[in-house]
């Protein structure tokens, strides 16, 4: 019969005929047609006394106290059976009374049978339906890849053409100067080879070549086209 101990009643702990409950309210979940049993524990802290247990009219059809007037010397267990009929209500609630010393003092605690009730202190948490949807993944827009041609600085075609022509003109003038030097040396050597001695003709040709070369170098260093 001892399925559970849900309530403890303390007698004479705070004083003569004092009554205390471990729980001021009991909630026993029951489905229609279901039956449960439990025990009320009564602890007496003083001289032995009779303890009477009863229920309010709203619970009488659903609560059976198998020993409603025990004589408690120190500690006693009172078996209780609770039930809900098949065709009954879903919720039954009322009070359980405890009386000591033949009515000297009476106290009670509340009892609820059926589906558990939500107490006033219970907070209902509302869940937003959008939280159940999968999170959207945002992909950062990437900048299009830049080709190596776009990374190079812009080069004007006209500027390239100008630089090319400038380099060609310098090379042409330089080669022309070298050719003139060679022709000059060859001519002077031929002229002086007939009238002068070979040794004197050679030195004179070398001197003229040096003078002509210095003159060409001077022109190269001072003409604007070579700067």
Residue 48 contacts residue 73 (beta carbons within 8 Å) = yes
- pLDDT of residue 151 exceeding 70, the answer is no
Beta bridge partners of 91: 114
* Structural Rg of the chain based on CA atoms: 62
Residue 11 contacts residue 72 (beta carbons within 8 Å) = yes
Nearest Cα neighbor of 5 from 84, 92, 95, 80 is 80
pTM, entire model: 0.50
Q: What is the pLDDT of residue 131?
A: 45
User: Which of 75-89, 135-149, 193-207 bottoms out in mean pLDDT, i.e. has the lowest?
Assistant: 135-149
State the chain's maximal CA–CA distance in angstroms: 172
Band (pLDDT 50/70/90 cuts) for residue 112 is very high
Residue 18 contacts residue 12 (beta carbons within 8 Å) = yes
- pLDDT of residue 44 exceeding 70, the answer is yes
User: Which of 41-50, 67-76, 151-160 bottoms out in mean pLDDT, i.e. has the lowest?
Assistant: 151-160
Higher pLDDT, 104 or 187: 104
- Convert the pLDDT of each residue in 184-200 to its tens digit: 666 666 665 555 566 66
Q: CA-CA distances (angstroms) from residue 123 to 68, 120, 126, 129, 131?
A: 38, 8, 10, 19, 20
Q: What is the pLDDT of residue 52?
A: 97
User: Which of 111-120, 193-202, 208-217 bottoms out in mean pLDDT, i.e. has the lowest?
Assistant: 193-202
Q: CA-CA distances (angstroms) from residue 1 to 38, 45, 81, 195?
A: 7, 26, 9, 157
Compute the distance between CA of residue 196 and CA of residue 192 in angstroms, rounded to an integer: 6
Query: What beta strand segments (E) does 71-167 contain?
Result: 71-72, 75-83, 91-100, 105-114
């Amino acid at each position: 019969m001892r399925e559970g101990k849900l309530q403890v009643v303390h007698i004479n702990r705070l004083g003569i005929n004092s009554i205390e409950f471990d729980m001021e309210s009991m909630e026993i979940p029951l489905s229609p047609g279901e039956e449960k049993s439990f025990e009320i524990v009564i602890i007496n802290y003083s001289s032995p006394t009779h303890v009477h247990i009863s229920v309010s009219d709203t619970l009488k059809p659903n609560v059976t106290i198998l020993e409603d007037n025990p004589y408690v010397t120190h500690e006693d267990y009172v078996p209780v059976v609770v039930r809900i009929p098949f065709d009954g209500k879903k919720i039954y609630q009322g009070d359980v009374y405890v009386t000591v010393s033949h009515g000297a003092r009476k106290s009670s605690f509340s009892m609820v049978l059926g589906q558990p009730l939500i107490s006033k202190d219970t907070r209902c948490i509302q869940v937003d339906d959008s939280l159940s949807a999968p999170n959207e993944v945002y992909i950062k827009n990437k900048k299009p890849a830049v080709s190596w041609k776009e990374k190079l600085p812009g080069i004007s075609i006209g500027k390239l053409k100008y630089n090319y022509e400038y380099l060609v003109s310098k090379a042409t003038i330089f080669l022309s100067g070298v050719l003139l030097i060679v022709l000059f040396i060859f001519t002077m050597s031929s002229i002086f080879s007939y009238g002068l001695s070979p040794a004197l003709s050679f030195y004179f040709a070398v001197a003229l070549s040096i003078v002509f070369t210095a003159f060409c170098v001077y022109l190269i260093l001072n003409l604007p086209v070579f700067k």
